[in-house]
């Protein structure tokens, strides 16, 4: 009998710069046979990113294209990233703690096919230090957002959000930990819903504020 490939899972890449805990959550999700994506590579702009070892230990192709080798030429770095993604047959890109400002070259090349996770309830608190800023602002609800990437940083259509309460006495650290736990649930849920809306419930988690 001849072998045929009936793998209709979407080939994705995960782009990281650091520890890669959201990457880990996506790796775990992709291990389920009914998850609609498979990871073809993990790519970092930092060869020393701890997440690369995690990816390799999981048996994944893990690569680095060091942005420092390109000096100030952001576009040249992005061209190298884009070429590697295309050569690997990637169809969708998940940014997961990828700490690079993107130029229109990459955002337009991957328009509608590049996701990001951000640790706030966008449009509140784009940018860095979101947990400190949420505490300073006195918000009572904080959380995380998965959105499609556009040219504007931490902007673009929202695919899902998860909210957590802010407690009296919270520090940026414990608030970050509470949000991160939700990030790990939200990212796979939002990705699944984007790829297979017909098989994903609209509210992924009964009773909690995880909405995709
Ligand atoms: C996460 O908080 C993510 O929302 C933000 O950067 C952090 C990355 O953490 N974009 P990790 O590398 O996924 O652990």
pLDDT digits (tens, 9 = 90+) for 117-155: 999 999 999 999 999 999 999 999 999 999 999 999 999
Query: What pLDDT is stored for residue 202 in this prediction?
Result: 64
pTM for the predicted model, two decimal places: 0.94
Confidence of residue 30 (pLDDT cuts 50, 70, 90): very high
Per-residue buried b or exposed e for 176-195, using 16+ beta carbons within 10 Å of the residue's own CB: bebbbebbbbbbbbbbbbbb
- How far is ligand 1, taken at its centre, from the CA of residue 23, in Å? 9
Q: Domains for the chain: give ranges and CATH numbers.
A: 10-197 (3.40.50.170)
Mutation probe of ligand 1 site: the residue of 117, 153, 175 with most atoms within 8 A of C-beta: 117
Percent of the chain residues past pLDDT 70, beyond the cut:
92
Q: Would you say the CB of residue 118 lies under 6 angstroms from ligand 1?
A: yes
Percentage of the chain beyond pLDDT 90 is: 89
Placement of tokens 């955002």 in the chain: 107
Q: What is residue 197's predicted lDDT score, i.e. its pLDDT?
A: 87
Residue 3 clears pLDDT 70, i.e. is over it: no
2-17 average pLDDT score = 83
Q: 52-86, pLDDT tens digit by residue?
A: 999 999 999 999 999 999 999 999 999 999 999 99
Computed over every residue of the chain, the mean pLDDT equals 93
Question: To test the ligand 1 pocket, which listed residue (26, 96, 118, 125) has its Cβ within 8 A of the most ligand atoms?
Answer: 96
Quick: pLDDT tens for 186-203: 999 999 999 998 877 665
Tell me the pLDDT band of 2, cut-offs 50, 70 and 90.
very low
pLDDT in the model for residue 9 = 98
Place of tokens 């130029």: 103
Closest by Cα among 84, 98, 75 to 23: 98
pLDDT at 211: 75
Q: pLDDT confidence of 6, banded at 50, 70, 90?
A: low
Considering only CA atoms, which residue is closest to atom 12 of ligand 1? 20
């Amino acid at each position: 009998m001849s072998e045929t490939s009936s793998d209709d899972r979407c080939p994705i890449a995960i782009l990281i710069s650091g520890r890669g805990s959201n990457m880990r959550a996506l790796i775990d999700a992709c291990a389920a046979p009914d998850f609609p994506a498979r990871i073809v590579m993990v790519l970092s702009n930092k060869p020393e990113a701890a997440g690369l070892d995690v990816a390799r230990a999981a048996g994944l192709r893990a690569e680095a294209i060091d942005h420092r080798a390109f000096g100030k030429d952001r576009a040249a770095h992005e061209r190298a990233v884009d070429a590697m993604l295309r050569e690997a047959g990637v169809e969708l890109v998940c940014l997961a703690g990828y700490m690079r400002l993107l130029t229109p070259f990459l955002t337009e090349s991957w328009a509608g096919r590049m996701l990001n996770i951000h640790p706030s309830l966008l449009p509140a608190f784009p940018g860095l230090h979101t947990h400190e800023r949420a505490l300073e602002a006195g918000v009572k609800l904080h959380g995380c957002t998965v959105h499609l990437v556009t040219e504007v940083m931490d902007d673009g259509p929202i695919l899902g959000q998860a909210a957590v309460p802010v407690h009296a006495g919270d520090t940026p650290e414990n608030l970050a930990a509470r949000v991160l736990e939700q990030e790990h649930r939200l990212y796979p849920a939002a990705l699944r819903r984007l790829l297979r809306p017909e098989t994903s419930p609209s509210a992924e988690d009964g009773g909690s504020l995880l909405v995709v």
